[in-house]
Amino acid sequence: MAQAQEATLTEGEALRFRVEGMDCPSCAGKIETVLGRVPGLSEIKVNYSASTLTLKADAPTLQVPTINAKLSGLGFPSALVGASGASEPAQAPGATAAGGLDHDHDHSDGHAHSRDKMNTNGPTRWWQSKKGRIVLAEVALLAIAYVGSLILPERAEWVFGIAAAIGLVPFAVQAFKLAIAGVPFSIETLMSVAAIGAIAIGESTEAAVVVLLFSIGELLESVAATKARAGIQSLASLMPKTALLLKNGSQTEISAGKLVPGDIILVRPGDHVAADGQITEGSSELNEAAVTGESIPVAKTVGADVFAGTVNASSALTVRVTKMASDNTIARIIHMVEEAQGSKAPMARFIDDFSRIYTPAAMVICALVIVVPPLAFGADWQTWIYRGLSLLLIACPCALVLSTPAAIASGLAVGARRGLLIKGGAALEALGKIKTIAFDKTGTLTAGHPVVTDIISISETQVRVLAIAAAVERGSSHPIGKAILDRAAKDGVAIPASSGGSAIAGKGAVAVVDSDEAVVGSPRYASEIRVLAVSDMSKAAVLEEAGKTVVIVTHKNVAIGMIAVRDEPRVDAKAAIASLKALGIEAVMLTGDNSRTGKAIADSLGLGVRAELMPQAKLDEIGRLKKQAPVAMVGDGINDAPALAAASVGIAMGGGTGVALETADAALLKDRVSGVVEMVRLSRLTLANVRQNVTISLGLKAVFLVTSLAGVTPLWMAILADTGATVIVTINALRLLRARV
């Protein structure tokens, strides 16, 4: 790390920094503004939720210490942690010590400080942080000033003035640094001007209280920002630190970060799986709630994929590692959510743009409030200076700027914990405005593989029909054959011996069972060999009308029964479609399957259908729906990629697979249709939270604007109103972390 910090950057190199002390979007805005003025830097992206900075160096002579020095000068110590695309599963985003605060400012050696803090073993409590120490110092100063005013009442204003001036020093210094760096209209500037003005007009007691309340507000922002990151930190904490490596017949405990693809590890009952991999020995149930949001343990055996961070519930497993630690499922989820929280929703971008105009405009208005009444109407200067300073404190845009990103960050964290990956504020905002949702059929509304739905007896019992069919299909890789074998295994049917198995191209399969030929074939083939009666053909036709595929089982040249299979709807699909309708959202199925099968599935679920659609036709249908209203597309993330990309929001079903994580705007890790409903509800809850936050921040400003101009609001109440609005907005956003969707 130390060597990397001193290195000269390679031209075009993408870098990622961990930045301490960012508590709100205003902090991120300051960093973006200042670094934007540094020659040789481009693509600067600051994510206050994840405490990260990514950028590109376009000047080959630029060095990392230059960037660290700039950030440290602003009060944001930083450390280079890797390329912008790297994942850091071992480091909880936004926290250098579990559950604690780390927001110390104004260290001359920014990168060294950050390295020290990142190696901290214990949590940093609020009173141990720089902001906490400032608050305690302010309380002590105010207490000393109060005692001094009692001893020397005639010097009370001087005593409180000295206390206010001492307490103001760190904020005034910060305001000066920001101003010369190109950020003149910061909250520190507004507060410093107001406090200095109050001291100048003899209101030093209020100035001291204002400084204390501002310090408390800054500390509360730090506490709230730390809590807001808890959702993603909890994911990082799931990653085991060690793994049991099996090599040359012995077990060795090694760091999980050292595992490489091909390694074989032992996962004991109760252990967290140390890496993404594939089971090579053993069968067990795994709790995948941390990754997919699925609360019921999933049974897995040899050949099944397992995900890092999941918990082995019952029996020991031997697992072959398939991915590096930096690329496992948990690490990728963390990285994706960090990136998503760093992206701005349209509403957030609007408020950011508005605040850039709002802050300097507010300062001009405050100046006019101070000078116009005395100059134009002969009003008292001290009265209107006081009112103007109160207005200046109320005008701080912190609560307004924080209103949207705080809610968006909480919403994204909630989704990640529940297996709902939403890739950014724009997607989260768009989901709440969706009017139509189009679903692919196979693998989305249905499980993606056929199962036996009906066994019809003709001349033998159902058990015998299934046994003969399974004997013919033994070893088959055909979906229908596998469905028959799965049903036989599920029912515990004894399968008789068979020999000479072979396929009849396009018609079925044949084998010798109990010394006689047995055939599993299509109804058409059964008619060709004249083994199926007209009445039985009618039964087969009824099953086919229901969207099922029918095979006739023949033994000794006699039709003994028929078996119907169908790719059945997911167990929660019907309820999910009904829930979407209750939310006022129209659902439609887009499928390439035949009209008969598509209609049968759609009718059973209660939604419309467009069948026999090639990929281009699906794309055209999405375009048509999109012209009418915002539309979401839900698919398996592979063959539906064009439609997913064209929709207002593309949602991939994937059960934690790499495709689901990389495709579309959102992914349902729990692989349930109900996840779509949860996404919509989460989005609507988040948008409602944003509207509440904007109303709170603007509403309080409007109220105190009137009271300030009327001379009702003292300075301390003005800063309390601003700090209070910021805290209320943050707490309201944190409510989303407990939201039920």
103 neighbors 124 (Cβ within 8 angstroms): no
687 neighbors 704 (Cβ within 8 angstroms): no
Distance, in Å, from the CA atom of 228 to the CA atom of 246, rounded to the nearest integer, reads: 39
113 neighbors 104 (Cβ within 8 angstroms): yes
Q: Which of 93, 83, 94 is nearest to 20 (CA)?
A: 94
CA angle 687, 690, 691 (to 5 degrees): 90
**How buried is 324 (Cβ within 10 angstroms: 0-12 exposed, 13-18 middle, 19+ buried)?**
middle
Distance, in Å, from the CA atom of 59 to the CA atom of 78, rounded to the nearest integer, reads: 20
Helix (H) or strand (E) holding 511, with range, is: strand 508-513
114 neighbors 78 (Cβ within 8 angstroms): yes
Collapsing DSSP to helix, strand or coil, 90 comes out as coil
Alpha carbon separation from 120 to 11, 98, 100, 132 (Å, rounded): 33, 9, 10, 18
Handedness of CA 656, 660, 666, 667 (dihedral sign): negative
Alpha carbon separation from 437 to 115, 386, 517, 682 (Å, rounded): 48, 56, 50, 16
Phi, psi of 169, rounded to the nearest 5 degrees: -50, -55
278 neighbors 262 (Cβ within 8 angstroms): no
Alpha carbon separation from 546 to 90, 609, 687 (Å, rounded): 52, 15, 42
631 neighbors 625 (Cβ within 8 angstroms): yes
Collapsing DSSP to helix, strand or coil, 539 comes out as helix
Beta-bridge partner residues of 455? 563
DSSP symbols for 171-185 = HHHHHHHHHHHT--S
Tokens of 366: 């405050």
Q: Which residues are catalytic?
A: 440
634 neighbors 666 (Cβ within 8 angstroms): no
69 neighbors 78 (Cβ within 8 angstroms): no
Tokens of 168: 């103001």
Distance, in Å, from the CA atom of 33 to the CA atom of 186, rounded to the nearest integer, reads: 12
Distance, in Å, from the CA atom of 595 to the CA atom of 348, rounded to the nearest integer, reads: 44
720 neighbors 213 (Cβ within 8 angstroms): yes
Distance, in Å, from the CA atom of 340 to the CA atom of 338, rounded to the nearest integer, reads: 5
| Rg (the chain; Cα; Å) | 33
Cα dihedral 34→36→37→42 (10° resolution): 140
Backbone conformation region of residue 557, classed left if phi is above 0, alpha if psi is from -120 to 50, else beta: left
Distance, in Å, from the CA atom of 508 to the CA atom of 525, rounded to the nearest integer, reads: 8
